[in-house]
Amino acid sequence: MKILVAVKRVIDYNVQIRVKEDGSGIVTENVKMSTNPPDDNAIEEAVKIKEAGKATEVIAITVGEEKSQETVRKALAVGADRGIHVKADGIIEPLAVSKILQKIVEKEKPDLVFMGKQAIDDDCNQTGQMLSALLDWPQATFASKINVEEGKLKVTREIDEGLETIEINTPAIVTCDLRLNEPRYASLPNIMKAKKKPIEQLIASDLGVDINPRVQQIKVEEPPQRKAGIKVASVAELVQKLKNEAKVI
């Protein structure tokens, strides 16, 4: 069984982002980048399935500018076997990413595609569902538990009401929640070994996919800042304020 894992390079989740003064976007120069957090869970799960003898190959793929290769390299360092980098500059919308992934799926014929449930930069939460629509494959989104069985998966999904379990036939798409597993760290020897693993580079425009944005970003603004309030000295004061000043209890 072959597992393809989509990883995106994003601003590190610990960075307090800044909006550009001209409102054209977010400042990315000299900002720490890393793998989109749930994509680390997606890689971890694929590698664990391989270690359990249920998969033969894990391929990491990213779509993005030259530097997004780092993200693939990191996936290789935690156990992916080889990588694919589809070079594309600028904002690539989930629809375009899913079309690119569709082309790669048609070529690589994986049994499973694992992805993150949401990219923490665009917060779109679309790409996995779109890919599964384009392929007419089953989808298991927001996965917090995956059981691999013969020709199918049993997946527990995190939904608003609690948890839901579904069974899907492979080939299938799974989008991963952060609670799926605990991603491992890359050890130094594995980081060295990863340098020798192959990364195939493709150019998005060569794939015959229209990746032009359909959505124009007119402006980006900071949210109105909340004023810090006051510190109260005691619980009694807190309750009085809530009752008499804020009038919320």
Ligand X SMILES: Nc1ncnc2c1ncn2[C@@H]1O[C@H](COP(=O)(O)O)[C@@H](O)[C@H]1O
Ligand Y SMILES: Cc1cc2nc3c(=O)[nH]c(=O)nc-3n(C[C@H](O)[C@H](O)[C@H](O)COP(=O)(O)OP(=O)(O)OC[C@H]3O[C@@H](n4cnc5c(N)ncnc54)[C@H](O)[C@@H]3O)c2cc1C
Residues that bind ligand Y (CB under 6 A): 13, 37, 120, 178
- Helical packing angle, 127-135 and 94-108, nearest 10°: 50
Residue 32 near other proteins by CB under 8 A? no
Q: Side-chain half-sphere of 3: how many Cα atoms within 13 Å? A: 28
Q: Which of 53, 90, 162, 208 is the binder for other proteins (CB under 8 A)? A: 162
Candidates 89, 2, 76, 3; CA nearest to 35 is 76
Candidates 92, 57, 81, 86; CA nearest to 69 is 86
Candidates 72, 67, 65, 63; CA nearest to 198 is 72
The site partner of 8 among ligand Y, other proteins, ligand X, none (C-beta below 5 to 8 Å per kind) is ligand X
Q: What is the rounded distance in angstroms from the CA atom of residue 178 to the CA atom of residue 242?
A: 36
Q: Which two tokens stand for residue 154?
A: 């049993």
Q: How far is the CB of 38 from ligand Y (least distance, A)?
A: 7
Q: Indicate the burial class of 28 (C-beta count within 10 angstroms; 0-12, 13-18, 19 or more).
A: middle
Give whichever of 102 and 175 is closer to ligand Y, judged by the CB atom: 175
Residue 36 near other proteins by CB under 8 A? no
Give whichever of 8 and 50 is closer to ligand X, judged by the CB atom: 8
Residues that bind ligand X (CB under 6 A): 6-8, 36, 38-39, 62-64, 92, 94, 97, 115-116, 118-119, 122, 124-128
Q: Which two tokens stand for residue 213?
A: 């944005």
Give whichever of 111 and 241 is closer to ligand X, judged by the CB atom: 111
- Please identify, among the stretches 46-54, 69-77, 115-123, 192-200, the one whose residues bind other proteins according to the rule CB under 8 A: 115-123
Give whichever of 76 and 86 is closer to other proteins, judged by the CB atom: 86
Residue 29 near other proteins by CB under 8 A? no
Q: What is the rounded distance in angstroms from the CA atom of residue 64 to the CA atom of residue 45?
A: 23
Q: Indicate the burial class of 56 (C-beta count within 10 angstroms; 0-12, 13-18, 19 or more).
A: exposed
Sign of CA dihedral 182, 185, 189, 191: positive
Q: How far is the CB of 79 from ligand X (least distance, A)?
A: 17
Residue 138 near other proteins by CB under 8 A? yes
Give whichever of 11 and 209 is closer to ligand Y, judged by the CB atom: 11
x/- mask, other proteins, residues 229-248, rule CB under 8 A, reads xxxx-xxx-xx-xxx--x-x
Q: How far is the CB of 205 from other proteins (least distance, A)?
A: 18
- Within residues 178-237, the interface with other proteins by CB under 8 A covers 178-179, 213-223, 226, 228-232, 234-236
* CB-CB contact of 71 with 8 (8 Å): yes
Give whichever of 45 and 81 is closer to ligand Y, judged by the CB atom: 45
Q: Which residue is nearest to ligand Y (CB)?
A: 37
